[in-house]
Amino acid sequence: MRINISRLHHPVTALGPGTRAGLWVQGCSIGCPGCVSRDTWAPGDGTALDVDDVLAWLTGLGDVDGLTISGGEPTEQPVALRALLEGVDALRRDGVFTGDVLCYTGRDEADFHAVLPWAGDLIDAVIVGPFAVAEPTDLLWRGSANQRLIPLSERGRQRYAPYLDARPEQPPLQVTVEDGQVWMIGVPRRGDLRRLETALAGAGVALAEVSWRPR
């Protein structure tokens, strides 16, 4: 079984509690206006990875606090996603993986459960709802006020209770440079990307192509 991904990354500290593994799926047909991840929209731009290879990567990371799945739209690969998360669950039963699973989706809560009726068995918490550019928010890990963080399991309820209504002064953001690309992890607030571009320009770095504007 293969899953079409945009990228894997560790450590992720800006999308979920603790130090986490991050998997960004490739492919999203929802098309929220103002989406900052337009590079993850086209399914053909992804890399098809064997689910077992993703699980081996996760195992090789050692002790992580969780796995965050974002994208792209994870629910558009329901069969591969389920195979991956059943594998994660097996790692958990073996004591190899002790973290939680957090999943982002642009679907609303009812639609998410309709597409992934097994979600409550394999996902500990979900952040639901499309990105709404006209509804800015300072809620932790969310890009717009309509998006809700919903625990699905007992582990999720315990882990995410302190964060449901958390509103940090600054959103957690990571900026990394890989293969000549500047890559930001986290959910920026309105104006953050313009400030990043301006700061980079001030340092003599001009961004040729960015994921938040059409190509």
CB contact at 8 A, 127 and 166: no
Length of the chain: 215
CB contact at 8 A, 68 and 24: no
Q: Provide the minimum distance between the beta carbon of 186 and ligand SF4 in the complex, in angstroms, as a whole number.
A: 14
Residue from 31, 117, 136, 168 in contact with ligand SF4 (CB under 6 A): 31
Q: Provide the minimum distance between the beta carbon of 3 and ligand SF4 in the complex, in angstroms, as a whole number.
A: 16
Residue-wise DSSP of 129-152: S---TTS----TT-SSTT-EEEE-
Report which residue's Cβ sits closest to ligand SF4. Answer: 106
> Whose Cβ is closer to ligand SF4: residue 106's or residue 151's?
106
> Whose Cβ is closer to ligand SF4: residue 130's or residue 156's?
130
> Whose Cβ is closer to ligand SF4: residue 89's or residue 111's?
111
Please give the Cα distance from 172 to 188 (Å, whole number): 8
> Whose Cβ is closer to ligand SF4: residue 34's or residue 117's?
34
Residue 31 vs residues 12, 15, 41, 80, 143: alpha-carbon distances, Å: 25, 21, 8, 22, 15
Segment interacting with ligand SF4 (CB under 6 A) among 1-9, 33-41, 59-67, 162-170 = 33-41
Q: Provide the minimum distance between the beta carbon of 153 and ligand SF4 in the complex, in angstroms, as a whole number.
A: 23
Please give the Cα distance from 38 to 91 (Å, whole number): 32
Peptide bond into 72 cis (omega under 30): yes
3-state helix, strand, coil in the chain (%, to 5): 30, 25, 45
Residue from 30, 61, 91, 133 in contact with ligand SF4 (CB under 6 A): 30
Q: Which residues of 58-79 are buried (b: 16+ CB within 10 A; e: fewer)?
A: beebeebbbbbbbbbbbbbbee
With binding defined as CB under 6 A, does residue 106 bind ligand SF4? yes
Site for ligand SF4 in 53-72 (CB under 6 A): 71-72
Residue from 26, 37, 75, 153 in contact with ligand SF4 (CB under 6 A): 37
With binding defined as CB under 6 A, does residue 128 bind ligand SF4? no
> Whose Cβ is closer to ligand SF4: residue 181's or residue 198's?
181
Radius of gyration of the chain from its Cα atoms, rounded to whole angstroms: 17
With binding defined as CB under 6 A, does residue 40 bind ligand SF4? yes
Q: What single letter denotes the amino acid at residue 192?
A: D
Q: Which residues of this chain interact with ligand SF4, rule CB under 6 A? A: 28, 30-32, 35, 37, 40, 71-73, 106, 130-131
